Structure 1
Amino acid sequence: MQTEVLVGLIGFGGALVGAGGALLGGWLQQRHQAAVAQKQQEAARAGLLEEQGRAAGEKALSELYALRRHLRDCELRPVPEECQPWRGIARGFIDEAELAVMLMPNATEVQSRITDAAGLITETLMIGREEAQQMTDREHITHVHRCRAGTLEASEAISAFTRGDSLSETGPLLRRHITQHPRSARSS
């Protein structure tokens, strides 16, 4: 073989090896950059979910505290005119709190606890107008206190979850409500 042809073949082979190396290097770099970008997106998504969960928890707590203030104003009979109809207003607060909690990611246990507390509050609030008018002052105060106990249970659960603490035991009033209203009956 002539030297020129041999040099040409060696040069061509070198060019092929160089091009192959460049393509392999580009492909490896692209894979690495894609993996880094995916990790950044996952971290951003996790941060966004945490932020949304915190905002939902804060909204729920705000609604529960508003409900507690409202209930405090409704303890006396007759209930002040600005708080009428007090049961409807209270139901609005608990509905908003329950909705906000449902938007909290990775909060199944808290959502269940809030649903139970909302059930206790709602059950207490759902009485007829005539029944409400026939209540004694003591019965009225008992109804308000049952609602306040439910808001306290819900507030404690959301606060513990937000802090990263484990949920405390349910209180006796909520435990009794859960026993009397099993989950299968409540979810239908």
Structure 2
Amino acid sequence: MQTETLAGLIGFGGAVVGAGGALLGGWLQQRHQARVTREQQAAARAALLEERGRAAGEKALSALYALRRHLNDCASRPVPEERQPWRVIARAFIDDAELAVMLMPHAAQVQSRIADAAGLITETLVIGREEARQMTDREHISHIHRCLAGTLEAIQALSAFMRADPLPEPGPLLRRHLSRDQEPTRS
């Protein structure tokens, strides 16, 4: 073979190897960049989810503290006119808190606890108008304190969750409420 042909073939082979290396390098770089982009997008989604969960938790805590203030204002009889109908207003606050908590990601345990506390509060709030009119001051205060206890249970559980602390044990009133709900009904 002539030297020029051999040199041309060697040059061509070098060009093929160089082009192959460039293509392989480009492919590897593209794969790496795609993986980095996916990881960044996943981190951004997680941060957004965390941010939304935090905002929902803060909204729920605000509603619970508003409920607590409302209940404290309603502890006296007669309930102030601006707080009427006090049971409907209280129910709206607990519903707002429960809804906000349900929007929190990765929060099944605290969602369950808030739902239990909301059940205690709601059960206490739901009575007939005539029954409410006939309540003694002592019964009224008892209803308020029962609602306040449920509110405090919810505040403590949600606050602990948002601090990343373990949830506190349910208080005696909530435990009684839950155990009564779990008892089988007898016919």
- TMscore range, shorter length: over 0.9
Letter in 2 for 1:47: A
Partner of residue 123, structure 2: 123
CA deviation map 1:117-153 (0-9, x unaligned)? 0000000000000011111110110001010001100
Unaligned runs of 5+ in 2: none
Q: CA deviation at 1:182?
A: 3.1
1:28-39 superposed matches below 5 A: 28-39=28-39
Shift of 1:86: 0.3
Query: What do the CA deviations read for 1:4-24 (whole angstroms, capped 9, x no partner)?
Result: 221111111111100000000
Task: Tell me what 2:165 maps to.
Answer: 165
Cα deviation, residue 45, structure 1? 1.2
Report the number of matched residues.
Answer: 185
Runs of 4+ off more than 3 Å: none
Aligned counterparts of 1:132 and 1:163: Cα–Cα separation in 2 = 39
SS at match of 2:174: helix
**Secondary structure in 2 aligned to 1:181?**
helix
Give the structure 2 partner of residue 135 of structure 1. 135
> Tell me, what secondary structure is at the counterpart of 2:177?
helix
5 Å matches for 1:169-184?
169-182=169-182
- 1:52 and 1:182 map into 2 onto residues whose CA distance is 34
| Gap runs ≥5 in structure 1 | none
TM-score, scaled relative to structure 1:
0.95
Match of 1:58 in 2: 58
In the alignment, is residue 148 of structure 1 matched against residue 177 of structure 2? no
Give the share of equivalent positions with the same residue, in percent.
77
